[in-house]
């Protein structure tokens, strides 16, 4: 109940009574009522304020409780994560300790296996020595019996018969000794020749410090943004058509972000197109006239690079009287690669190797150097010439008046024509060494694995082989045969058969060593 209606009612009562006493009483009553109403209203407002204050305090307490709970949960999660990390670390340390123990156990097993193998070899050696002693003892007994029979015969023979018999015996002994001496001399001569050849090759290779070749052909041009692709194509494709016609290449523009691919079988044209396109992208003004101008400038720049590269190679090898056309062709080899091996670096390397080998053989190193540098010249000659690069290069050198020895060495370095001099053999050898040395050429992992699998399958296809393992990056194949089913002679036959089949059926770099293992072990455990 509000105070205003009550005040109005009191005023009406006072007006009706209109007497002093009643007026005094009414005033006192009104005052009392007003005081009571004021106290009531004040108490009610105080209670409301107290309730609101209590509710605010309660909400604040709830918020603080929620914050404390969230903080507690966060700390608990942090603690759990810390404990989990500690547990992982302990598990990893335990696994590392276990792996170390396993490696140690494997090492002990290998040591025990090696000791066991040595013991078997020693037993075999002792048995062979005892067999040898027994054979010698039997031989001595046989000689004693023969001597006794000879003495008995001599007692019944006259002097002339004794002389004839002794002469025949000496001739037989001398014939056997001469045969053994001849075989020994031939074997020693062959070993000496092999050792001398190895010495020459090792000396030549050690004197040549070659770096691994890891350059690759760059055919990708990066763009600042994808809008540049539209400017390269041009209206109705006129820009890209003009570019392809001027460079003789193909531009591949796909959804790859901010890049285009230049495609061409000619690496020189591809490089010219790359330089021209990079200039056009940098300039931003792309139209047929600017394309022709950029291609012309790039052509001039690449021609200068080609000539500089050819002259630098000739200066590095200190060659004289080289035709200008040969200089340009040699420079073009700078843009060609074979299994990531740069053709120009390969040619220089072959020239240096050939010169070193020729020096070791007492030949003219200058001729070997020229033949080595020119041996892959046919790879830089235009595609309209027919034939292999060896024959094309040799024909080109012959037309320019190069020496016949050099021409034959270039034509025969892939054994397509008959070798007419030692220089051709030197080029063949130097070319092989440069191509197969470690780091010279890259090989895809898939083709590498396929080559190893084919090598192992070829060994397993031979009867008597129960296991085959390609090791040393495919440069050695080890075939395991059963010692009971396969004899020593059959194991040697298997090695020869496998070697011939590898030569006939597989393509491989350098050489492959064939090892046939025939081994038998006997193991007992004493308790």
| Of 417, 319, 338, the residue nearest 380 (C-alpha) | 338
Q: What dihedral do alpha carbons 68, 69, 70, 74 form, nearest 10°?
A: 100
- Reported as a single tens digit per residue, the pLDDT across 51-102 is 888 888 888 888 888 888 888 888 888 988 888 888 988 888 888 888 888 8
| Spatial contact of 372 and 430, defined as CB atoms under 8 Å apart | yes
**What pLDDT, on the 0 to 100 scale, is given for residue 26?**
64
Q: What is the average pLDDT value for the chain, to the nearest integer?
A: 78
**What pLDDT, on the 0 to 100 scale, is given for residue 218?**
46
3 phi, psi to nearest 5 deg: -80, -25
Q: How confident is the model at residue 295 (pLDDT cuts 50, 70, 90)?
A: confident
For residue 517, pLDDT beyond 80 = yes
For residue 453, pLDDT beyond 80 = yes
Q: How many CB atoms lie within 10 A of CB 367?
A: 20
For residue 46, pLDDT beyond 60 = yes
Query: Residue 212 in 3-state DSSP?
Result: coil
Conformational region of residue 249, where left means phi above 0, alpha means psi within -120 to 50, and beta covers everything else? beta
* Tokens found for residue 458: 């070829």
| Spatial contact of 391 and 378, defined as CB atoms under 8 Å apart | yes
**What pLDDT, on the 0 to 100 scale, is given for residue 123?**
84
**What pLDDT, on the 0 to 100 scale, is given for residue 180?**
65
> Tokens 């410090």 correspond to what residue?
209
Beta strands, E only, 343-386: none
Percent of the chain, pLDDT > 70? 77
Domain boundaries, the chain: 3-135, 157-207, 445-518
- Reported as a single tens digit per residue, the pLDDT across 392-405 is 888 888 888 888 88
Instruction: State the DSSP code for 403.
Output: -
**What pLDDT, on the 0 to 100 scale, is given for residue 217?**
44
Taking residues 473-494, what's their average pLDDT?
Answer: 86
**More confident call, 126 vs 265:** 126
CA atoms within 13 A on the CB side of 523: 8
CA distances from 177 to 81, 146, 163, 184 (A): 87, 20, 21, 10
Q: How confident is the model at residue 39 (pLDDT cuts 50, 70, 90)?
A: confident
- Name every residue whose Cβ is closer than 8 Å to that of residue 13 and which is 6 or more positions away in sequence: 26
Classify domain 445-518 by CATH architecture. 2-Layer Sandwich (3.30)
| Spatial contact of 262 and 285, defined as CB atoms under 8 Å apart | no
For residue 41, pLDDT beyond 80 = yes
- Reported as a single tens digit per residue, the pLDDT across 135-188 is 888 887 887 777 777 766 666 666 677 677 767 776 766 666 666 666 665 555
The C-alpha atoms of residue 167 and residue 172 are separated, in whole angstroms, by 9
- Reported as a single tens digit per residue, the pLDDT across 341-350 is 778 888 888 8
| Spatial contact of 423 and 405, defined as CB atoms under 8 Å apart | yes
The C-alpha atoms of residue 409 and residue 430 are separated, in whole angstroms, by 12
Q: How many CB atoms lie within 10 A of CB 161?
A: 12
Instruction: Name the least confident of 102-111, 178-187, 197-206, 300-309.
Output: 197-206
Instruction: Name the least confident of 59-63, 110-114, 453-457, 485-489.
Output: 110-114
For residue 116, pLDDT beyond 70 = yes
**What pLDDT, on the 0 to 100 scale, is given for residue 483?**
85
The C-alpha atoms of residue 369 and residue 427 are separated, in whole angstroms, by 9
* CA terminus-to-terminus distance, the chain: 111
Q: How confident is the model at residue 374 (pLDDT cuts 50, 70, 90)?
A: confident
**More confident call, 61 vs 204:** 61
**What pLDDT, on the 0 to 100 scale, is given for residue 214?**
38
Q: How confident is the model at residue 132 (pLDDT cuts 50, 70, 90)?
A: confident
The C-alpha atoms of residue 479 and residue 459 are separated, in whole angstroms, by 7
The C-alpha atoms of residue 415 and residue 251 are separated, in whole angstroms, by 39
The C-alpha atoms of residue 350 and residue 451 are separated, in whole angstroms, by 27
Taking residues 408-435, what's their average pLDDT?
Answer: 83
Helix (H) or strand (E) holding 479: strand 476-481
The C-alpha atoms of residue 373 and residue 262 are separated, in whole angstroms, by 30
Beta-ladder partners of 470: 477
The C-alpha atoms of residue 511 and residue 266 are separated, in whole angstroms, by 33
Taking residues 352-374, what's their average pLDDT?
Answer: 87
- Reported as a single tens digit per residue, the pLDDT across 7-30 is 565 565 555 555 566 667 767 777
| Spatial contact of 295 and 244, defined as CB atoms under 8 Å apart | no
For residue 191, pLDDT beyond 70 = no
Q: How confident is the model at residue 452 (pLDDT cuts 50, 70, 90)?
A: confident
For residue 251, pLDDT beyond 60 = yes
């Amino acid at each position: 109940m509000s105070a205003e209606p009550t005040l109005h009612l009191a005023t009406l009562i006072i007006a009706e009574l209109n007497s002093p006493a009643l007026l005094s009483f009414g005033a006192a009553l009104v005052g009392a009522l007003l005081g009571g109403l004021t106290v009531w209203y004040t108490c009610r407002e105080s209670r409301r304020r107290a309730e609101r204050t209590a509710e605010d305090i309660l909400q604040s307490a709830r918020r603080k409780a929620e914050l404390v709970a969230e903080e507690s949960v966060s700390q608990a999660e942090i603690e759990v994560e810390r404990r989990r990390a500690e547990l992982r670390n302990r598990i990893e340390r335990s696994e590392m300790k276990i792996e170390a123990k396993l490696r140690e156990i494997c090492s002990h097993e290998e040591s025990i296996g090696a000791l066991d193998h040595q013991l078997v070899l020693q037993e075999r050696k002792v048995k062979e020595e005892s067999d040898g002693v027994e054979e010698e003892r039997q031989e001595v007994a046989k000689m004693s019996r023969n001597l006794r029979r000879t003495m008995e015969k001599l007692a019944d023979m006259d002097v002339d018969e004794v002389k004839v018999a002794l002469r025949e015996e000496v001739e037989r002994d001398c014939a056997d000794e001469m045969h053994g001496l001849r075989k020994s001399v031939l074997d020693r001569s062959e070993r000496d020749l092999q050792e001398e050849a190895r010495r020459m090759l090792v000396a030549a290779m050690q004197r040549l410090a070659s770096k691994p070749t890891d350059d690759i052909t760059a055919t990708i041009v990066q763009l600042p943004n994808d809008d540049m692709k539209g400017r390269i194509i041009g209206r109705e494709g006129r820009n890209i058509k003009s570019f392809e016609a001027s460079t003789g290449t193909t531009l591949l523009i796909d959804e790859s972000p901010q890049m285009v691919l230049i495609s061409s079988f000619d690496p020189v044209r591809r490089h010219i197109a790359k330089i021209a396109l990079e200039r056009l992208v940098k300039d931003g003004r792309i139209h047929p006239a600017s394309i022709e101008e950029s291609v012309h400038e790039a052509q001039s720049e690449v021609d200068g690079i080609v000539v500089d590269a050819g002259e630098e190679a000739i200066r590095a090898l200190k060659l004289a009287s080289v035709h200008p056309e040969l200089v340009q062709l040699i420079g073009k080899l700078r843009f060609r690669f074979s299994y990531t091996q740069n053709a120009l670096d390969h040619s220089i390397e072959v020239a240096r190797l050939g010169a070193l080998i020729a020096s070791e053989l007492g030949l003219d190193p200058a001729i070997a150097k020229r033949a080595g540098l020119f041996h892959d010249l046919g790879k830089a000659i235009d595609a309209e010439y027919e034939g292999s690069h060896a024959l094309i290069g040799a024909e080109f050198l012959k037309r320019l008046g190069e020496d016949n020895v050099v021409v034959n060495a270039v034509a025969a370095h892939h054994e397509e024509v008959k070798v007419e001099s030692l220089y051709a053999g030197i080029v063949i050898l130097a070319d092989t060494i440069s191509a197969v040395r470690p780091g010279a050429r890259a090989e895809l992992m898939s083709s590498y694995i396929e080559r190893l699998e084919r090598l192992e399958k070829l060994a397993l296809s031979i009867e008597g082989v129960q296991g085959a393992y390609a090791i040393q990056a495919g440069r050695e194949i080890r075939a395991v045969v059963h010692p009971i089913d396969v004899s020593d002679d059959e194991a040697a036959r298997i090695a020869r058969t496998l070697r011939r089949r590898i030569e006939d059926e597989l393509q491989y770099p350098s050489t492959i060593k064939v090892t046939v293992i025939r081994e038998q072990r006997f193991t007992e455990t004493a308790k």
